[in-house]
Amino acid sequence: MSAECSLTIPSNDCAICPRLVEFRGIQRIRQPRWYNAPVPAFGALDARFLIVGMAPGLKGANRTGRPFTGDYAGDLLYATLEKFGWAQGEYAASSDDGVSLHDCRVTNAVRCVPPQNKPTGPEVNGCRRFLENEITSMKCLEVILALGGLAHGAVVTTLGHRKSAWKFGHNVRHELPGGLVLFNSYHCSRYNTNTGRLTTVMFEDVFRAIDRHFSR
């Protein structure tokens, strides 16, 4: 049995989080052609590098069925992945655009789209089992990049650590017990880039730091 076959993923009708189930049902009525289901990770399980976002965007991954695909966050993320050699192909904001990842996997802490793009604590906890299984299934994993404080907290907690001991900060590197290295970045959302909280240079600086780790 392959590693992908043994991976635990939520069903398309996952019922763990009542608020997300209700919101998903509304979107299925409003937009029946959209994906409207828990969004699976993108990339191979034998990758050394895992990127963890917050949750699918309503008109992004919830529409297309691929993490960070279809909204501005994906424009910046996939352009940066291609620039640093983690992705190949021409990103066209569609799950069938032919983009492939090299030694990299992309997922979200919460798999279903939340109202107002804001998952609650219980929803993050409800999805933790899937993130934990994903991380433990990645046998070659060395580096995790958490995009935003929520993703950072989800990763730290999933790995069994206290968030107070590993505080989020942009372009901060955490050498966690057990050998994994966790990098932080502000989320590559349109809001963060429009307000100047995150610039393209700042985002690329995080990837330069990750490149330095792998080139040691």
What are 61-107's pLDDT values in tens digits?
Answer: 999 999 999 999 999 999 999 999 999 999 999 999 999 999 999 99
Structurally, the chain folds into a number of domains equal to 1
Residue 10 domain-assigned? Answer: no
Query: What confidence tier does 4 reach under pLDDT thresholds 50, 70, 90?
Result: low
Tokens 């590559």 belong to 188
- What is the model's pLDDT at position 61? 98
Asked if 173 contacts 183 with a C-beta cutoff of 8 angstroms, the reply is yes
Residue 42 included in any domain: yes
* CATH number of the domain where residue 106 is located: 3.40.470.10
Could you list the beta-strand ranges (E) of the chain.
42-43, 49-53, 87-88, 100-101, 104-108, 143-147, 173-175, 181-185
Alpha-carbon span 60 to 91, nearest angstrom: 13
pLDDT value at 1 more than 70: no
Inside any domain, residue 3:
no
Q: How does pLDDT run across 116-139, given as a tens digit for each residue?
A: 999 999 999 999 999 999 999 999
The verdict on residue 4 lying in a domain is: no
Confidence of residue 140 (pLDDT cuts 50, 70, 90): very high
The verdict on residue 2 lying in a domain is: no
User: Is 1 domain-assigned?
Assistant: no
User: What domain range includes position 34?
Assistant: 17-215
Express each pLDDT in 167-200 by its tens digit. 999 999 999 999 999 999 999 999 999 999 999 9
7 part of a folded domain:
no
Is 162 domain-assigned?
A: yes
Report the Cα 107 to chain-centroid distance in Å. 3
- Of 216, 201, 210, 179, nearest in space to 86 by CA: 210
The stretch 50-59 carries a mean pLDDT of 98
